[in-house]
Amino acid sequence: MIAKPEKICVDIKASLKQAGLFSDSGNTWRISPEPYFLSHEETTFFHELGPHLLKFYSVLNRFYLDSVKGNFHPWIAEYLDAGKPQELIEFGRMKRMRQALPGIIRPDVIPTEKGFVVTELDSVPGGFGLTSALMSLYEDPSWKITGAGIPFLFYKMAESVAREPTPNVVIVVSDEAKDYLSEMQFLGSFLNDKGVYVVHPKDLSFRDEGLFVRDEGKWVRVDVLYRFFELFDLKNIPKSELILYAAKKGQVTTTPPYKPWLEEKLSFALFSHPSLRSDWEKALGSETFTALEHLIPETWILDSRPLPPHGVIPDLEVKGNQVRGWEELFPMTQKEREMVVKPSGFCPESWGSRGVIVGHDVSSDIWQQTLTKVLKQFPDQPSVLQKFYKGKKIEARYLNTNKDKIETMISRVRLTPYYFVLGESTQLGGVLATLCPQDKKKIHGMVDAIMVPCASKVF
């Protein structure tokens, strides 16, 4: 007997609550009776995207290090280092970590009427614990959940960067990231027998041999530390200096690495820069370059320094005229300002859509105030301007708890695949779909959103 969709939603909600992942008074969203379905072509796209993004990170890392050495455009490192403390910059450049890349890659992918757009990359992503839970709750013979599974791949990723076999792994969750603690604890519960622990920074103990955590009365040495906290927040992280010291001495491997240049949204502006086009194409190879060129939106660094009289901002036009200064964007009409302004990184406003301003969703006064503010903040806090791409309309079903019935919402969706880096390759762990009402310009987790894993139908 097939369960009614209302009953399916009630059961899923109850399971999420029991796992501490859902709360009617806090972490809440609309529950759907089915996953978000991907076509065969879309599923193939997501499996093939991971290697392209890993190449992007690898080339960005190389461009940065060559720029630092003076062997490549010096302004690349100048942009990527802007606003960062010198000691963090120097730590990230250490020889031991020169080739280190993020262990998890999560792009934000928006399906539009003309195809997919990747609006940004996150190398310290939340949501993979929740995605893992949803993947297990939506299993059904009628479809195949997309991805190889998150707990298994998380540990394989940690193994790939460890210096020891069967490493002890700690996921360190800061106070600022506490909203994600329950999902990390859920993930850790599947991996306790493998030596995976979820801790607060203050739970770490430093000894001459390295970092330790307490487990059932015993002290366990940490081999791999998964950093679930942002680099801009280091001064608020208890024992952060001891973590850095242990990493510097090679006593623990940290991932994602302490490389602020790999966590900058302005990397997309570097990819868009016409003077770097041939360098990217040569370094990435034609296949990856072509794929990313069709996915990455036009992006510009909001650099307030004056241009020479003959200078223009590359590929940015208003009313068919090339822009010669940012002030030319101030009087843009609502239609013309279908653009997004967002902090590039290394500040509390740079994650969770906090600092994102959608140009055509605000008044002309707010638009001008935003541009004026971020231009004044440069170079201490760089921001980027990015072309806005509207997601296509999609119908999605959910349980209206007030009426106890299934309803349909016209929505737009953000797809967030989680790629786990295993040496020089990636594997897709799972894909989370976040569907928001069609009138929302920013698509992210909210009470009006539907959040489900992706799957493909079995025919």
Whether the per-residue pLDDT at 174 is higher than 80: the answer is: yes
Token pair of 344 as six digits: 């590039």
Collapsed DSSP state (helix, strand, coil) of residue 369: helix
Instruction: Give the pLDDT score at 318.
Output: 93
Distance in Å from the first CA to the final CA of the chain: 20
Question: pLDDT tens-digit profile of 339-353?
Answer: 999 999 888 876 666
Question: pLDDT tens-digit profile of 367-410?
Answer: 999 999 999 999 999 999 999 999 999 999 999 998 999 999 99
pLDDT band per the 50, 70, 90 thresholds, residue 233: very high
Instruction: Give the pLDDT score at 366.
Output: 97
Token pair of 397 as six digits: 């079903």
**C-beta of residue 329 within 8 angstroms of C-beta of residue 321:** no
Percent of the chain with pLDDT over 70: 99
Quote the pTM value: 0.96
**C-beta of residue 127 within 8 angstroms of C-beta of residue 84:** no
Mean pLDDT of the chain: 95
Listing DSSP states for 365-417 in one string gives HHHHHHHHHHHHHTTTS-EEEEE--PPPPEEEEEEETTTTEEEEEEEEEEEEE
Neighbouring-strand partners of residue 341: 357, 385
Interhelix angle 40-69/74-81, rounded to 10 degrees, is: 110
Q: What is the DSSP letter of 260?
A: G
Question: pLDDT tens-digit profile of 7-49?
Answer: 999 999 999 999 999 987 778 999 999 999 999 999 999 999 9
Question: pLDDT tens-digit profile of 39-64?
Answer: 999 999 999 999 999 999 999 999 99
Neighbouring-strand partners of residue 265: none
Average pLDDT over residues 439-445: 87
Instruction: Give the pLDDT score at 27.
Output: 81
Q: Residues 76, 80, 82, 86: what is their CA dihedral angle, to the nearest 10 degrees? A: -110
Instruction: Give the pLDDT score at 355.
Output: 84
**For the chain, counts of helices (H) and of strands (E):** 12, 21
